[in-house]
Amino acid sequence: MKALLEIEHLTVKFATPKGWLTAISDVSLSMKSGETVCLVGESGSGKTITSKSVMRLIDYENGVIAGGEMRLDGVNLVSSPQSSMRTLRGKKMAMIFQEPMSAFDPVFTIGSQIIEVMIGHKVSSREKARERAIHLLSRVGIPEPELRMKQYPGELSGGMLQRAMIAMALACGPELLIADEPTTALDMTIQAQILQLLQELKSEFNMAILLITHDMGIAAEMADRIVVMYAGQVVEQATAVQLFELPHHPYTQGLLRSVTSLDSDRGSRLYSIEGSIPSLFELPEGCRFHPRCAYATDQCAKESPPLLDINDRQVACWHAESLAENGAFESIKQTSGIDITEKTESFVREKESGALPNLFEIEGLRKYYPLGKSLFSRQNSVIRAVDDVSFQIRKGETFGLVGESGSGKSTLGRVIMQLEKATAGSVRFAGKTLTGIHTSELHEARKDMQMIFQDPYGSMNPRWRAHEIIAEPLAIHTSLSTAEKKERIAELLNIVGLNPSLQDRYPHEFSGGQRQRIGIARAIALNPSFVLADEAVSALDVSVQAQIVNLMQDLQQNLGLTYLFIAHGLHVVRHISNRIGVMYLGQLVEIAGSEELFVRPAHHYTKALIASIPWPDPSRKRELQAISGEIPSPARPPSGCRFHTRCPAATSLCKSEPPALTQIDHEHWVACHFPA
């Protein structure tokens, strides 16, 4: 079959204040109609630049194509003027962005913007364009499409806005759909819905999909072929089955070993690739991966390997063939991870058996946000962000908290930490009541409770150097001298695996993983007994994520920390947690030991969350099971069981009677009339 998209030896440069920056070098790939190709690699590997180059969007970002060829169905994309590219964009190829709000103008309705795309490309009259827009919104699973046509982007949820963007991308029937991390910002359940939708649309419209992702589970579920990029170059190309069965490049091996799946050994440390991806301004000589590669030789340090055909795939590695023949990956796979000691195993058993004392006791906790009187009601309405939550966090354990966005996880964490005042209920910490106490007492208690944020950059003053950021809690809560502070900062940087010589740098001079390490250093500066990690690893690449999880577990063992670990990546929560609580619409619907929850989930919501996780193995591919619908508004929660509007097992009892959180087994509680 003739290739739809052909990229040959593409090199892209950007004009910067420091001079020309080569963002991608000698990239080659091709795609056929109806094929899904996944571009994978860590942040900074050049995936997005490659996709923007195909669309020629780099022209608007000081970028130029410095070499190579690109053809879409025979049309030369390199030499085409922007006037021709504007015709191609939308009609022949379209793009879905990671952040849907970037694709929509907030001051125009959803419908008017989809119609405008079709009118702009002269594919139909305004009336026919309106009919097609309604049909497309319905096709991508948006309820009441006529109503949504009149709504503005800000009135739609994240998942619904992502669907509307897909509808707009499909408006003119493109042959190539580029999806740049289309599900990264979404919950597992909405992610499953979007991926399922893309698979259906691909078959229906016979489109080719170029999917950019750093999630190897998504690549395994979606891809026919996978292209692995590192530091602006392609290092391996293979079919999905080939790549997962036996990766040939050490970087690909490292990416796959870093993946945490639901059958990973919780007793082992997560594997991570040492070091970080190099700056494009400071690329190493020879193979760009050699400083992080366990198999690097003198040849790797001096000569850059070309992309060669080896065993029915393409690999850029001098030793790929010999490593594959010698079974290097097989032996690594069998010995990956460091088994925990007997002492740690007994500690884990003790923690999961409930033998440890409670550090936190939360009783009947509520947090309501007043909305005032609405148009349809004279009564004051409220958002029930947290609604009658009771549970305990034991000393020395990691309590995981999962659920979709809008379920109240982060609000619960902030109220437990007393960063927000509870509407009702009580929080006891180490035997002392925190709710309603005087500010000075709370200030004293805060030394023992610290927080790691999802976005380390957003939680740091960009004008402060690293040592000033880490010193902030020391300045507030201690009377250490300047010399003592300096010594403590150096000690903390060593503890989190950063060189103290970096302490004079500003946040923007660090990578995402390094910034998170600084955030952790600040959190442990006062030797707290409790740390709240709110989506602390969600925004990180899989390998960096593994480094941070390992660091957090090491600190827990060495410093006796207790964690509340909030996340939507269930496989990571399973690995790090001793017990897990599942939240839905402000309430805890299930609490169980980590292994118990994943082996025997009792709530239908928990089952659906687990079923929506992509499996990182194309040979065990299963149909993605998405929960229908979206989480209701916490301002108008459904009567009875709050999950009944989306539950396949709901009865009339579920619609009228709210279920209580009831113990069904040792350490296993569930709020369901008909547990699974």
The average pLDDT across 529-538 equals 92
Taking the domains of the chain in order of start, what are their residue ranges?
98-173, 248-335, 343-446+568-670
User: What does the pLDDT look like over 587-639, one tens digit per residue?
Assistant: 999 999 999 999 999 999 999 999 888 888 887 766 666 677 778 888 889 99
Contact 24, 91 (CB under 8 A): no
Asked whether the predicted pLDDT for residue 375 surpasses 60, the reply is no
User: Strands 587-593 and 358-373: what pairing?
Assistant: unpaired
pLDDT the model gives residue 183: 82
Q: At CA 81, angle to CA 75 and CA 83, rounded to 5?
A: 100
User: What does the pLDDT look like over 120-147, one tens digit per residue?
Assistant: 888 778 999 999 999 999 988 888 899 9
The average pLDDT across 58-77 equals 95
Residues 12-44 as b/e (b if ≥16 CB within 10 A, e otherwise) read: bbbeeeeeebbbbbbbbbbbeebbbbbbbbbbb
Asked whether the predicted pLDDT for residue 109 surpasses 80, the reply is yes
pLDDT the model gives residue 338: 32
pLDDT the model gives residue 344: 39
Rounded Cα gap, residues 386 and 388, in angstroms: 7
pLDDT the model gives residue 351: 47
Name the nearest CA neighbour of 576 among 256, 183, 264, 332. 264
Q: At CA 29, angle to CA 26 and CA 33, rounded to 5?
A: 155
Q: How much is the pTM?
A: 0.86
Contact 42, 251 (CB under 8 A): no
pLDDT the model gives residue 5: 96
Angle, helices 126-139/158-169, rounded to nearest 10 degrees: 130
Residues 238-271 as b/e (b if ≥16 CB within 10 A, e otherwise) read: bebbbbbebbbbbbbbbbbbbbbbeebeeeebbb
Q: What is the 3-state secondary structure (H, E, C) of 531-588?
A: EEEECCCCCCCHHHHHHHHHHHHHHHHHHCCEEEEECCCHHHHHHHCCEEEEEECCEE
Contact 412, 384 (CB under 8 A): no
Rounded Cα gap, residues 403 and 590, in angstroms: 11
Contact 348, 578 (CB under 8 A): yes
Q: Is 418 left (phi over 0), alpha (psi -120 to 50) or beta?
A: left
Joined together, the tokens standing for residue 571 give: 């496989």
Asked whether the predicted pLDDT for residue 508 surpasses 60, the reply is yes
pLDDT the model gives residue 265: 79
- For the domain with range 343-446+568-670, which CATH number is right: 3.30.470.20, 1.10.260.40, 3.40.50.300, 3.30.70.260? 3.40.50.300
According to DSSP, residue 60 is labeled: G
Rounded Cα gap, residues 492 and 489, in angstroms: 5
Contact 587, 388 (CB under 8 A): yes
The proportion of the chain whose per-residue pLDDT surpasses 90, expressed as a percent, equals: 66
The average pLDDT across 275-301 equals 93
Name the nearest CA neighbour of 262 among 33, 530, 19, 575. 575
User: What does the pLDDT look like over 472-502, one tens digit per residue?
Assistant: 999 999 999 999 999 999 999 999 999 999 9
Instruction: Name the pLDDT band for 646 (thresholds 50, 70, 90).
Output: very high
Query: H or E segment at 176?
Result: strand 176-180
Rounded Cα gap, residues 184 and 404, in angstroms: 13
Q: At CA 294, angle to CA 292 and CA 297, rounded to 5?
A: 95
pLDDT the model gives residue 348: 46
Mean pLDDT of the chain, nearest integer = 89
Q: Is 26 left (phi over 0), alpha (psi -120 to 50) or beta?
A: left
User: What does the pLDDT look like over 298-355, one tens digit per residue?
Assistant: 999 999 999 999 999 999 999 999 988 887 765 444 333 333 333 334 444 444 445 6
Least confident of 290-304, 357-371, 432-446, 518-532: 432-446
The proportion of the chain whose per-residue pLDDT surpasses 70, expressed as a percent, equals: 93
Q: At CA 417, angle to CA 578 and CA 465, rounded to 5?
A: 100
Question: Could you count the other beta carbons within 10 Å of the beta carbon of residue 577?
Answer: 25
> Does 431 or 620 have the greater pLDDT score?
431
Rounded Cα gap, residues 372 and 387, in angstroms: 19
Joined together, the tokens standing for residue 570 give: 């269930």
Q: Where are the beta strands (DSSP E) in 437-558?
A: 449-452, 530-534
For residue 341, count CB atoms less than 10 angstroms from its CB and return exposed for 0-12, middle for 13-18, buried for 19 or more.
exposed
pLDDT the model gives residue 538: 81
Joined together, the tokens standing for residue 168 give: 């707009």
pLDDT the model gives residue 380: 65
